[in-house]
Chain A
Amino acid sequence: MRGLLFWGSVVFLALLLLFAVFGPQIRHGPFEIVGSPYIKPSADAWLGTDEQGRDIFSRLAYGARVSLLIGLSVVTVGILVALIVGTGAGYGAPWLNTVLMRFTDGMFAFPDILLAILIVGIVGPSFWAVFGALAVIAWPSMARLLRNQVLSLKEQEFVTASRALGAGHWHVVFKHILPHLVGLISAVAMVEVAMIILAESSLSFLGIGVQPPTPSWGSMINTARTVMRSDILPLLWPCLILSLTILALNFVGDGLRDRFDPKSAAGG
C-alpha cells in the first residue's frame, strides 16, 4: 500500500510538472478571455470559465507553475542557507552554534505565516515579496535539523577515524558529512515544498500573495468562494488540485524518508 501511494504520488507530481509546463499553452492562455463568465465545462473550456470568462484549465496550470516555482525555488534557497548555517553550527565553532540556536529560537517565536504576513504587509504584496518572505521563514527549521544531523554524524566512527588520519575539515565536510545528508535533505525538501506551497496559497487566499491577473490556486479559491451559491465548480477545481498536490508531496516525502532512514518507517 505504501509503495502504491508513493509511486502514485510520484506519477501525480510528474503529471503536475508537465501540466505546469505545457498546460497554459495547450488551448487558451491564462489571461485570455475566451467567453462569458462561468461557462460550464465544455469541449472548448475543459473545466469551464472563471468570473472574467477565462479558461480555468489554463489558469490552474499557470497556478501550478507559480506554486511549483515558488515552492522549489524557496526550498532551494532555504536548503542552501540551511546547509551553510547548519553544517557551520554543527561542525564549526561552538559560538556559531550558540548564535544560530538563539537566532532560530527567535525565529521560531514567530509563527511561520505571521512573519510572512508581517514582511508582505510592510513591503507590499508582489511575487518577490512573497518569495522573500517565504524564504525567510523556510530556512531556520531546516538549519536546525541539519545541525542536529551534523552533530550526530560528527561523533560517528568513520568521521573520527578520518580526522585521526589527518583529514582536513573541508575534506571531512565534503567527503563524509554532506553525502550522508542527501537522503535526509531530499525527504525534508518534499515536505518543505508542500509547506511553502501551502503558505503561498494561504497568502494568496488572504489577498496578500501573488497579485492578479497572475493566477494562484489560493486566490482562485478566494474569488470562487463568492459565487459558490450558483457556481460551485470554479471553487472545486483549485481545491482539488491543491489538496492532491500537498498530499502527494507528503507521501513522497514519507516514502523517501522510509527509504533513506529505515528506523523511522515503523513509527508511522
Chain B
Amino acid sequence: MVLLKRVLRSPVGAQVLRRLAWTVPTLVFITLITFIAGDLAPGDPAVRKAGMHGGQEAVELIREKMGLNRPLHVRYAEFVWNAAHFEFGESLVTPRAVNEIVLTGIQHTGRIALLAILLASGVGILLGGIAAIWRNRVADRLAVSFSTLGICIPNFVLAPVLVYIFAIWLDRLPVAWRDDPERGPWIYLILPVAIMALRPAAVITRLTRASMIDTLSQDFIRTAYAKGVPFWRTIIVHALRNSLVPIMTAVGTSLGFLLTGSFIIETAFLIPGLGSASIDAIRKADYPVIQATVLIFAVLFIAVNLLVDLLLPLIDPRIKEGAA
C-alpha cells in the first residue's frame, strides 16, 4: 500500500497507472465486439461442427457440449475467461484446435513484423538523419521522395511487381513462402520483410527528418558545436537522442501498420501467419478462428501502443500527461 501511494504520488507513476487502467475498458470493448460478431455470424456452429455426417442427435450433443444453450452473458464471460487462458476451442472446419493455428500464426507474423520494424527503423533513421543534415540537397530530395512513394504505393501493388522482377525475371528470390529445410527460411523472408518495412520506413524517415531539423536548429546544438564538440558527435549524441521521442512514437504506430499489413503480405506470399489464417477463416466461415485472430491482433495492437506510451516517459521525463 505504501508503495502504491508512493507510485501514485509521483507524476509518472500515476500516469502509468492511469494508462494501464484505461486498457481495461478498451479490452472489454474489444472482447465484446469480437464475441458479438461471432454470435451474430450466420449459421449454427453446432450444425457446422457436426459436419457432413452428423444427424440431429449429433448436433444436439455438440450444442450441449459446446454450451450453446446457455445465456449470452454466461457465454461472454466464458469467452473472455477462455481467451485469457489462450483457449479458443476447435476450428469448425479442420479438426485442429484454434490454438494450434493461432500459435503457428503468431510465430510467422511476429517474426516478419519484428524484422520489418528493425529494418524500417534502421533505414528510416538513417535516411531521415541524412535528409535533415543535408537539408534541401539531393540526398534530402531523394529521401523525401522515397518516403512519399513508400507511403503511397500499396503493398499489394509492390508485392506482385517485386515478385515479378526478383523471382520471375531475375530468378533470384522465391515466388512465395514455403517450408524449405534445405535453404532455410531467410531467403523466403527477404521480399515479404522488405515490402512490409517500406511504409514504416517511409513514416520514420519523415518524422526523423522533421524532428532532426527541429533539433538541429536549437541553441544547445549550436552551443555544443561552438564548444568544439565534433560534428558527428553532436549529431549522434545530441541531435539523435533528442529526436528519439517522435521516432519511438513512429515505431510504435508503425507496428500497428505491420500487423494489418500482414493480411496482404501473408496472402500474397502464402505465409501461414495470423493474417492469412483470418482471411482463410473468413472464406471458410470458421468463426472461432476469426474471433481468435481478430482478438489477438487487437490485443497485440493495444499492447504495443501501451508499451510505447509507457516507454516514452522513461526516455524523456519532460513529457507530461496529455502532451503525448
Contacts and interface: CB of A to CB of B under 8 A. Distances in A.
A joins B in a complex? yes
A20 B213 CA distance: 42
A239 B160 contact: yes
B30 A117 contact: no
A113 B279 CA distance: 12
A45 to B, nearest CB: 22
B294 interface: yes
Given A114-B294, A242-B157, A250-B148, A206 B267 contact: yes
Interface string B193-210: 000000000000010011
Interface string B1-35: 00000000000000000000010011001100110
A14 to B, nearest CB: 19
B contact residues, range:
35 or more
Given A122-B37, A122-B41, A109 B26 contact: yes
B144 to A, nearest CB: 7
B160 A221 contact: yes
Contacts of B164: 228, 232, 235
A225 B160 contact: yes
A97 to B, nearest CB: 14
Given A109-B26, A206-B264, A247 B157 contact: no
Contacts of A222: 156
A228 B282 CA distance: 27
A208 B284 CA distance: 12
Interface string A94-129: 000000001001100111111001111110100000
Which DSSP category, helix, strand, loop or mixed, fits chain A's interface? helix
Interface residues on A, range: 35 or more
A228 B156 contact: no
Nearest to B156: A205
A181 B259 CA distance: 33
Given A218-B156, A225-B160, A111 B148 contact: no
Contacts of A177: none
Given A102-B25, A114-B294, A268-B144, A121 B152 contact: no
B282 A208 contact: yes
A246 B30 contact: no
Contacts of A246: 152-154
B157 A121 contact: no
Nearest to B136: A268
Interface string B151-189: 111101100110110001000000000000000000000
Contact of A117 (B154, B163, B256, B279): B279
A243 B294 contact: no
A243 B154 contact: yes
Interface of B: 22, 25-26, 29-30, 33-34, 37, 40-42, 144, 148-149, 151-154, 156-157, 160-161, 163-164, 168, 206, 209-210, 213, 256-257, 259-260, 263-264, 267-268, 278-279, 281-283, 290, 294, 297-298, 301-302, 305
CB-CB nearest 9 A-B residue pairs: A106-B29, A121-B282, A111-B260, A239-B157, A247-B152, A205-B156, A246-B152, A113-B260, A225-B160
Interface of A: 102, 105-106, 109-114, 117-122, 124, 194, 198, 201-202, 205-208, 218, 221-222, 224-225, 228-229, 232, 235-236, 239, 242-243, 246-247, 250, 267-268
18 contacts: A105-B26, A109-B26, A111-B260, A113-B263, A114-B260, A114-B297, A194-B152, A202-B154, A208-B283, A221-B157, A221-B160, A236-B161, A243-B153, A246-B153, A250-B148, A250-B152, A267-B210, A268-B213
